[in-house]
Amino acid sequence: MTERPSAFAVDRRGFIRLAGSTAAGWLALGATPDRMRVVASLTVLPLDDELTRRSMTDSATTRLGGLIAGLRQRGWVEGVNYRFEIRSTFGGPDKFKAAVRELIDLKPDVILTGSTGETAAVMAATKTIPIVFATSNDPVGNGFVESLAHPGGNVTGFTSSTAEMGGKWLQLIREAVPDIARVGVLFNPATTPRAGRFFLDSLEQEAAASGVAVVLAPVSATADIDGAISRFSEAPKAAMIALVDSFLVVNRQTIIAATAKYRVPMIYPFHYFMDAGGLMSYGPTLEVRSADYVDLILRGTKAGDLPVQAPRKYELLINRTVGNALGLTIPFTLLARADEIRE
């Protein structure tokens, strides 16, 4: 069992003051003072969301904090030789379009995207500004890159899951709840890869082999979530799987509250759901490697010449206290394989 390192958080104003006081030292590492570069980023979360606030700290355990810290190690100091701009796409289609337009109008040197929808929107808006996607499940299938090894164009980045994850999630939730007869699949068709089919093929194959019925539970609005989950509190016994989906991440608190209310076990793709009180998650370990690519692009490397990288490690997290509240006895064989057990 491994423990997540504690976050060392510094507010961004304090961080900029610290950076400014040591600018000469960082410039000696290779930063160039000839002009102020612009690194831009989009997030599907509101800017006041807990995950967004946490990400804006100077900590390697958060995506944006890790980016800023990683760039500093490479000689790029925020407020000295580059500035960081972030916009939220949260708030509906008009807000989404406005956020993308605002970033494009800044003429940034590189744009970091965090979801499939964001990457597609930015690609539609520019063919010249380099784009680095921090997470993408199917970059070739979505038309973002020509191939993983040779992306081409102005885009590259990092994948976060494979299509086989659907079957893996079912295997794990069945170990936690071995007597289920059906599994519900929660997702928003508009925001999950290939409207869910990216994961459903392997999930349905695993379900057919294990005799479990797959019941789709698509949701398109926050108000749909409670009813979608309540259906699986009745017989025959069921558990649920949350697909990789930015909509579900935004609404993670609502989802967790409904699973507790209706006592429905659910497995999630990211540790964000565990932080909100989820039962178990299985997904890629958060490795903030985007600083490597942003640095290379700022120094002149073409995004399309940088290969798309896959996760190097996956982690299983289990909350035993949540399991007890749901009336589950998590098998020791499953607990023994967990990277982290929360109480």
Query: C-alpha angle with apex 176: 170 to 179, nearest 5 degrees?
Result: 80
| pLDDT given for residue 137 in this prediction | 84
| pLDDT given for residue 47 in this prediction | 80
Q: Which two tokens stand for residue 120?
A: 């597609």
pTM: 0.80
Task: Give yes or no: residues 212 and 305 share one domain.
Answer: no
Task: Give yes or no: residues 211 and 267 share one domain.
Answer: yes
| pLDDT given for residue 56 in this prediction | 63
Q: What are the C-alpha distances in Å from 33 to residues 1, 23, 27, 76, 337?
A: 45, 10, 8, 10, 49
Domain count, the chain: 2
In a domain, 123, yes or no: yes
| pLDDT given for residue 154 in this prediction | 97
Task: Give yes or no: residues 331 and 221 share one domain.
Answer: yes
Q: Which two tokens stand for residue 146?
A: 């020509």
Task: Give yes or no: residues 52 and 154 share one domain.
Answer: yes
In a domain, 88, yes or no: yes
In a domain, 6, yes or no: no
In a domain, 3, yes or no: no
How far apart (Å, rounded) are the C-alpha atoms in residues 255 and 54? 21
pLDDT tens, N- to C-terminus, the chain (343 residues): 433 333 322 343 433 333 343 344 444 444 455 689 999 999 888 888 777 776 666 455 577 888 888 999 999 999 999 999 999 998 889 999 999 999 999 999 999 998 888 999 999 999 999 999 988 888 998 899 999 999 999 999 998 888 999 999 999 999 999 999 999 999 999 989 889 999 999 999 999 999 999 999 999 999 999 999 999 999 999 999 999 998 999 999 999 999 999 999 999 999 889 999 999 999 988 666 889 999 999 999 999 999 999 888 899 999 999 999 999 999 999 999 999 999 8
In a domain, 153, yes or no: yes
Task: Give yes or no: residues 233 and 169 share one domain.
Answer: yes
In a domain, 55, yes or no: yes
| pLDDT given for residue 61 in this prediction | 59
Q: In terms of residue numbers, what domain contains 115? A: 12-161+286-313
**Amino acid at site 116:** T
Task: Give yes or no: residues 177 and 95 share one domain.
Answer: no
Q: What are the C-alpha distances in Å from 167 to residues 108, 207, 333?
A: 40, 8, 19
Task: Give yes or no: residues 210 and 180 share one domain.
Answer: yes
- Which residue, 81, 77, 54, 76, is CA-closest to 65? 54
Task: Give yes or no: residues 182 and 235 share one domain.
Answer: yes
In a domain, 128, yes or no: yes
| pLDDT given for residue 55 in this prediction | 65
Task: Give yes or no: residues 309 and 321 share one domain.
Answer: no
Task: Give yes or no: residues 181 and 136 share one domain.
Answer: no
Task: Give yes or no: residues 35 and 63 share one domain.
Answer: yes
In a domain, 329, yes or no: yes
Task: Give yes or no: residues 303 and 273 share one domain.
Answer: no
CATH number at residue 331: 3.40.50.2300
| pLDDT given for residue 8 in this prediction | 28
- Orientation angle between helical segments 116-125 and 93-105, nearest 10 degrees: 50
| pLDDT given for residue 49 in this prediction | 77
Q: Are 233 and 264 in contact (CB under 8 A)?
A: yes
| pLDDT given for residue 162 in this prediction | 87
| pLDDT given for residue 282 in this prediction | 97
